[in-house]
Homo-oligomer: A and B are copies of this chain.
Amino acid sequence: MEFELAQAIAVLNRTPATLDSLLRDLPESWLKQNEGPETWSPFDIIGHLIHGEETDWIPRAKTILEHGEARPFEPFDRVAMFEKSKGKTIAELLDTFVRLRTENLRELQKLNLTPELLAKRGTHPELGTVTLKQLLATWAVHDLGHIRQVARVMARQYKDEVGPWKAYLPVLGRD
Residues of A within 8 A of B (CB): 1-3, 6-8, 10-11, 14, 17-18, 20-22, 26-27, 29-30, 33, 124, 127-131, 133-135, 137-138, 140-142, 144-145, 147-148, 151-152, 154-155, 157-158, 161-165, 167-172, 175
Contacts and interface: CB of A to CB of B under 8 A. Distances in A.
A141 B169 contact: yes
A67 to B, nearest CB: 18
Contacts of A140: 155, 158
Copies of this protein chain in the complex: 2
B11 A30 contact: yes
Given A134-B165, A169-B145, A7 B21 contact: no
Contacts of A127: 164-165, 167-168
| Interface residues of chain A: helix, strand, loop or mixed (majority) | helix
Contact of A3 (B30, B144, B161, B175): B161
Contacts of A168: 127
A57 to B, nearest CB: 12
A131 B127 CA distance: 50
